[in-house]
Every structure is written in C-alpha cells, then in structure tokens.
Amino acid sequence: MTGRLSSAFAFRGSLSRRARAAVALGSSSLVLLLWQIASWCDLLDPTFLPAPLDILDTLYTMTMRGEIIGNALISIARILAAFLLSAVMAIPIGMLMSSFRPVSAALEPIIDFIRYLPTPALIPISIIWFGVGEETKIFLLWLGTFFQLVLLVVDDANRVPHEYVEVARTLGARPYEILRDVIWRAMLPALVNNLRITLGWCWTYLILAEIVAADNGLGYVIWTARRYMKTDEVMAGVFVIGIIGLVTDQVMRALHAWLFHDQEAGR
Amino acid sequence: MNPRRDSYLVFDQVTKRFDGLPVVENPFNLVVPRGQFVVFLGPSGCGKTTLMRMVAGLDEPSTGAIWLEGSRVGPPDERRGMVFQSYSSFPWLTVRQNVAFGMRYRRDLSSKAKAARAQHYLDLVGLADFAAAYPSRISGGMRQRVAIARTLAAGSEVLLMDEPFGALDAQRREQLQIELRRIQSEEMKTILFVTHDVEEAIFLADRIIVFSSRPARIVEDIDITAELGSERSIALRDSDIFFRRRADLLRTVRSILTVV
C-alpha cells in the first residue's frame, strides 16, 4: 500500500484510470460534503450560499417547470454556432498567416488590436449594429474567441517541424499540397486541444451576452433569478453550466485520445 | 570535355552566404559520377549540410551552380530525395502510407503501379510485416528505413542523407549501414551522406570528402573503394586494413580540429 502511494506521488508519476476517477470523485464529494455540513451547522446564510442539497432540489423543480433543458439547449446552440463560425474562419486564416509572411504582416496588427479590446466594451456597438437578436450574441461570442483562436492556430502551424515541410517539397508537393497534406495533418492534435480550451472561453461570453440582451438561455435564467434574490436558482443555473462544461471537456479529451492515440510520441 | 554536361553531379564554383556570413566561402568544386556513394565528413557546422541542401534545392547557392545530368539544379523535385535525422516519417500515416506518400504527387503512375512500388520498397527495406503500424509503434531504426523506402519509391536518383543514423544505437546503426550499402548497389543510386562518424564514413563510402571547419574547404578526397573494395561486410569491419584506414582518417580529422 505504501509502495503504491509513493509511486502515485512520485514526481510526474503514474496513476491508473480507476484510481484517477476515484480521487477526482472523492475530492469533489469532499468539497460538497463540507459545504453541506457548514449549511447544516448554520454557518452559511442561504440567502448568500444555499446548501448543495437545496440547490439540487431547486434544480429538480426548475427542470420540472421546464426552465432548464430548453434554455440549456438554446445556450448550447448559440455556443456551437458561434464557435463553429470562429473555427471555420480562424483555421484557414491562421494556417495562411503561418505559411505566408505577407498575410501575417497584414493581419497581425489588426488581430492584436481587437484581441486586446475587452469584449464587454463592444456590447453597445454590437447592439447598435445587430439589435438585441441572435446576431448580437453570436457576434459577441465570435469576437471573444476568433481573435484568440486565430493566433493559437498560427502557433500550432508554426510548431510543425520544418523537416516535414522539406520532405514534402523534395517529393514534389506544391504549397497548397503542403498545407493540405502535411501542415494540416501534423498540427491537428494540437489544434483539437486548443479548440477544446477555446470552447470553454465561449461560456464566459455567452453568459455576458445573455445577461445583456436575451429572453432565454441559461444566462437569462441566472440573471432573472438574481433580480428576485433567488440565490438557489442562480446556483442551480451555474451548476448546470459547470456540468455542461465538464462533460464537453471530457468528451473532447476522449475524442482526442481516440483520434490520435496511434500517432502519440511519434517522430 | 565539358564536366558540366558530361558528368553526373557537379558542384561548379559554389559559394554560400547566410545573412552575409560565409558558410561555403572558397568556391567549392566537386564532380560525382553516377552510382557513387559519397560521404561528407567534417566537424559540425562546417557547411557540409548546406552543400547537400543546395543539391536538394532547399537552399540556393549564392554564386556558382550545381548541375545534375547536364541541367542546372532548380527547386526541389522527386529526383533528389532528402532523408533527415529526425522527424523523417509522418506520424499520422502508417508505414505503408508513408512509403506511398513518396509517389503522391506523381501523375505518371497509376494507383495500381503506386501500390506495387510501395510494396516493392517495403520489402526492400524489410518492413513488409510492419506496413500497417504507425511510426510511434516502431523503433527509430525502422522509422529511418521508412524514410529511405519513401525516398526510393518517389523515384529519387540522388539520395541526400543528413546524419540519418545519428540518433540510433550502435547495433541498429551497423545493421542499417549494411542494408544501405546493399540497397545502394541493388538500386544503383547516387548517395550523398553527411556524417561526423569516421567509422560510419569508411564503412559506407566509395569516396570520402573530408571538410575543414567553417568556412568549408576540402581537406582530403579519399577513394575508399580503391583501398577496401566495394564489398562491405561485418568481417571487413573487424579487419586490419579497416582499422588502419580508420586510424589514418582519425588523425586527419583530429588535425582539422586542432587547427581551430
């Protein structure tokens, strides 16, 4: 037992899948348990922080009232639409920026300028442009992710070993063939990882967009509950977002492992 | 006789500068007959790799030119294939797909002919049993074989090898050296091979070009085949004549380094 423990705690040591899941579940449960106990002991004011079991109870009644699933689906749909738009634009533009100097020279200053603007500061202009419909939300999400993602794509493409490109050139590949057959394939594992991380950021901007201009979605649910000081409903909404994030991330990780396990540690 | 037109591979008064710094300063001249195995031996950073990259078309001479079968060498094409020390095979393709990648941009071959060629070169380098494996699942030596097979499948007449066995352990290295000699004599390829390993140079080469440190200059041009014959085996490696040749060459190489 002590041997297993010391190997688990070895610097960059290994941990079996089951042990990993057990530790992950245990630590989360412990936090919830302490929180619940603190509530039972009247250490927490439910107006500010309701007990986990009460939040769960509220979540159940809200789901039964039909307030959760529909709104969650609307939020997810907004995220997917905006995220796909970002990715579809950022991937080719980033690859071209990495491959052709004039393209990066032309676009880098623009991207860097917009990237440093806080998205909330652009809400007014976006409402003036697009009104308060779906366009504004999609635009804000796109704004928050595209300019970050495009630079991550540039980085991924830059990190493709030059040897791969030169091998392809000596085999007679033309520039667009190198992009399609070498750069794209070589950067794909890193790209999927970056997409996973960027997808998480989308939620930040989604809630923002739904607070400002929406009559549905999880952000709207949370913001409405706040107006009536229904802290348990606020927490229930936040909890749903957390769960969606957790599930999405795990699915993306599994997808990554399934797609790329063959080429791991390959040279 | 006009060497540019009548010889196979010619370096004609080649110099190279990078950002104004000379890599090959003294005009470099060398004539390589078809089918010769030429080893460039010299200290790291002496410019031998640059000379080879210029044959591939990956770098351009600052002055002078390189001629292959009477025509001036231009941008890269599949007649001149490169094998690098690392990142030599594509990790997202299987061994067979890697070898077939060499013919991907050839429009003169039917897909049936391509498949047959891929199989032929897989057999030649002894990887037929690993055709479906990904590079991450095979040894470093096998990955170098994949790269060699891919270059041959592409139809390269000149193989440019930049320390291709540099990252391998001694046993794998020896095995691959023997195989490379065999492949070269079977396929009648011309090979330029860069290394700083004296023993590897003698074992592989028909001819060794010994370089000074940067800027590159030819210190010695040794006809190894005249001394050792063209047959290379492990027995040769253990012979007195091989040891004497090695001791001689080591002395030359040491004298270059002490000059610096």
What pLDDT is recorded for position A2?
A: 62
Per-residue pLDDT of B191-217, as tens digits, reads 999 998 999 999 999 999 998 887 778
Domain that includes residue B129, residue range: 88-156
Q: Answer with the residue of higher pLDDT: B144 or B255.
A: B144
Contacts A–B by Cβ distance under 8 A: 86
What average pLDDT does this structure show over A159-163? 94
What's the pLDDT score for residue B144?
92
B155: nearest CA partner in chain A: A171
Which residues fall within 8 angstroms of residue B216, CB to CB, at 6 or more apart? Answer: B23, B24, B25, B26, B28, B42, B46, B47, B48, B50, B51
SS3 A185: helix
* DSSP result, B159-215: EEEESTTTTS-HHHHHHHHHHHHHHHHHHT-EEEEEE--HHHHHHH-SEEEEEPSSS
B107 within a domain of the structure (yes/no): yes
Q: Is residue B226 scored above 80 in pLDDT?
A: yes
Is cis: bond before B27, omega within 30 of 0? no
A96: number of CA atoms within 13 Å, CB side? 11
- What is the residue-averaged pLDDT of chain A? 90
Residue A266 contacts B where some CB pair is shorter than 8 Å:
yes
pTM (2 d.p.) = 0.85
Structure tokens at A230: 């229904």
Q: How far is residue A84's CA from residue B246's CA, in Å, rounded to a whole number? A: 63
C-alpha distance across the termini of chain A, in Å: 37
Contact yes or no for A172/B78 (Cβ under 8 A): yes
Specify if B140 maps to a domain.
Answer: yes
Q: Within a domain: residue B122?
A: yes
Pick from A163, A172, A181: which is nearest to B87 by CB?
A: A163
pLDDT band for B19, please (50, 70, 90 cuts).
Answer: confident
Residue B109 included in any domain: yes
List pLDDT tens digits, range B83-101: 998 888 999 999 999 999 9
**Residue B172: inside a domain, yes or no?**
no
pLDDT at position A267: 37
Give contacts of A173 with chain B, Cβ < 8 Å.
104-105
> What is the per-residue pLDDT for A266?
40
Q: Which of residues B54 and B258 earns the better pLDDT score? A: B54
Encode pLDDT of A106-159 as tens digits. 999 999 999 888 888 888 888 899 888 888 889 999 998 999 999 999 999 999
Q: pLDDT tens digit string along A186-239?
A: 999 999 999 999 998 888 888 888 888 778 999 999 999 999 989 999 999 999
Nearest to B224 by CA among B202, B193, B249: B202
Measured CA to CA, the distance from residue A137 to residue A134 in angstroms comes to 5
Q: What are the pLDDT digits (tens) for B67-78?
A: 999 899 999 988
Dihedrals phi, psi of B23, to nearest 5 degrees: -105, -50
Residue B79 has a CB neighbour count (10 Å cut-off) of: 17
Q: Using an 8 Å Cβ cutoff, are B13 and B29 in contact?
A: yes
* Closest partner CB to B91 (pick from A174, A177, A263): A263
Query: Of B51, B13, B9, B11, which Cα lies nearest the Cα of B193?
Result: B51
Three-state SS for B37? strand
Centre a 10 Å sphere on the Cβ of residue A77 and count the other Cβ atoms it contains. 12
A22-26, A54-58, B183-187, B255-259: the lowest-pLDDT one: B255-259
pLDDT at B259: 57
Considering the domain boundaries, does residue B98 fall inside one? Answer: yes
Residue A240 has pLDDT above 90, yes or no: yes
Closest-CA distance of chain B to residue A168, Å = 8
In a domain, B231, yes or no: no
Between CA A164 and CA B141 the distance in angstroms is 18
| CA dist A220 → A192, A211, B169 (Å) | 30, 6, 63
Q: Which amino acid is at B149?
A: A
Domains of chain A by range and CATH? 72-222 (1.10.3720.10)
Total domains, chain B: 1
Does residue B148 lie in a domain region? yes
Q: What is the mean pLDDT of chain B?
A: 89
Chain A residue numbers with beta carbons less than 8 Å from the beta carbon of B109 are none
Distance between CA B89 and CA B125 in Å, rounded? 14
pLDDT exceeds 60 at position B23: yes
| pLDDT > 70? residue B2 | no
